[in-house]
């Protein structure tokens, strides 16, 4: 099989599944940090504090313990769920003429064969590494053809590749943590688009006439960005993982009702991962938020690192958006 990797890296921006325009540049940092930005930043931090404070008492409540016990019994099926959901997602992409995401179009036969073989190899646990290797090559192809800047939207595939490679090895217990980090970074990178290029999201919302619940389009996009990055940080820190996964999959389900089959194709694999998160919880590993026992130290740890994460990621996104 001969693979052809494009040498052209164009500037593409995320979830342009619903617009044909790619002539958008990130705003400068000085135009992003406004009083509204700071207000919603403070509100997001407050919500993270609240999540840290209630996560312990809620997890010890008897009804929640029963649910957690039932979900823990489902862990033996997580690999089957991953393989099934991933296989369905890859076949949907193949039939729609795309790979990894709706905007990555199939332009060569090796991608068609790769998607088919990757989906087929998921049927047997002994060939999972073949599927993982093909997915990794497809991710490299997307990075070379569409640019690393755009491929970072889908860093979750790197986590999936890791899971497929470590199956039935001593490193298998680390798979949930890697998936959480990769999914969290993907959501954060998508949130950066809304923060740095709000006009793009506004144009899509305006075209579809979506409700803004009393907010202006600009305010609603800003709020959506902080919701997205707040949920992403909850995944990375291990704050109420199961509830967060349910919330995210609910949001994606609602967007699928609005945007239709393109969202279904784009989010099938993501929904699969979120189902795994609901079942796995923290995955049995110590989460970053548990590094400190005292509540005040936990709040400071989450807040300081969230702000550092945000104010490092945002300039990086702006720089890469202009450079690519």
Q: Residue 185's CB: how many other CB atoms inside 10 A?
A: 21
Q: How confident is the model at residue 87 (pLDDT cuts 50, 70, 90)?
A: very high
The model's pLDDT over 90-116, given as tens digits with 9 standing for 90+, comes to: 999 999 999 998 888 998 999 999 999
pLDDT score, position 14: 44
> In the chain, what percentage of residues exceed pLDDT 70?
85
Q: How confident is the model at residue 138 (pLDDT cuts 50, 70, 90)?
A: very high
pLDDT score, position 259: 61
Burial of 154: CB neighbours in 10 Å, binned 0-12, 13-18, 19+: buried
Q: How far is CA 63 from CA 37, 58, 262, 279, 315, in A?
A: 38, 9, 37, 16, 44
- Quickly tell me which residue has 């690393």 as its tokens: 148
Residue 257 has pLDDT above 90, yes or no: no
Residue 184 has pLDDT above 70, yes or no: yes
3 state DSSP class of 101:
strand
* Mean of pLDDT over the chain: 83
Residue 8 has pLDDT above 60, yes or no: no
pTM of the model: 0.86
298/201: higher pLDDT: 298
- 208's CB contacts (< 8 A; 6+ apart) are 18, 258, 259
Flag the least confident range among 62-66, 163-167, 207-211: 207-211
pLDDT score, position 2: 36
What are 153's two structure tokens? 């939207």
């Amino acid at each position: 099989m001969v693979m052809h990797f494009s040498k052209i890296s164009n500037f593409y921006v995320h979830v342009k599944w619903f617009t044909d325009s790619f002539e958008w540049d990130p705003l400068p940092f000085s135009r992003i940090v406004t009083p509204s930005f700071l207000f919603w930043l403070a509100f997001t931090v407050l919500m993270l504090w609240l999540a840290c404070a209630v996560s312990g008492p809620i997890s010890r409540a008897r009804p929640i313990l029963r649910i957690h016990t039932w979900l823990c019994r489902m862990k033996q099926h997580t690999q089957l769920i991953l393989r099934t959901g991933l296989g369905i997602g890859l076949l949907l992409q193949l039939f729609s003429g795309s790979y990894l995401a709706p905007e990555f179009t199939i332009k060569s036969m090796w991608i068609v064969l790769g998607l088919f073989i990757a989906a087929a190899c998921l049927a047997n646990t002994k060939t999972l590494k073949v599927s993982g290797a093909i997915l990794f090559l497809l991710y490299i192809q997307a990075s070379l053809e569409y640019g690393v800047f755009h491929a970072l939207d889908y860093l979750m595939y790197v986590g999936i590749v890791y899971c497929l490679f470590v199956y039935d090895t001593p490193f298998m217990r680390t798979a949930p943590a890697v998936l959480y980090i990769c999914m969290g970074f993907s959501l954060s990178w998508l949130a950066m688009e809304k923060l740095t290029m709000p006009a793009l999201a506004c144009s899509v919302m305006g075209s579809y006439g979506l409700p803004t619940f009393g907010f202006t389009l600009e305010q609603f996009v800003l709020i959506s960005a902080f919701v997205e990055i707040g949920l992403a940080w909850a995944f990375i820190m291990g704050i109420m993982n199961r509830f967060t996964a349910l919330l995210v999959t609910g949001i994606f389900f609602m967007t699928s009702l609005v945007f239709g089959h393109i969202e279904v194709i784009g989010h099938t694999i993501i929904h699969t991962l979120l189902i795994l998160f609901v079942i796995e919880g923290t995955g049995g590993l110590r989460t970053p938020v548990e590094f400190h026992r005292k509540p005040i130290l936990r709040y400071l740890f989450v807040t300081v690192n969230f702000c550092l994460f945000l104010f490092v990621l945002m300039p990086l996104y702006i720089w890469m958006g202009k450079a690519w």
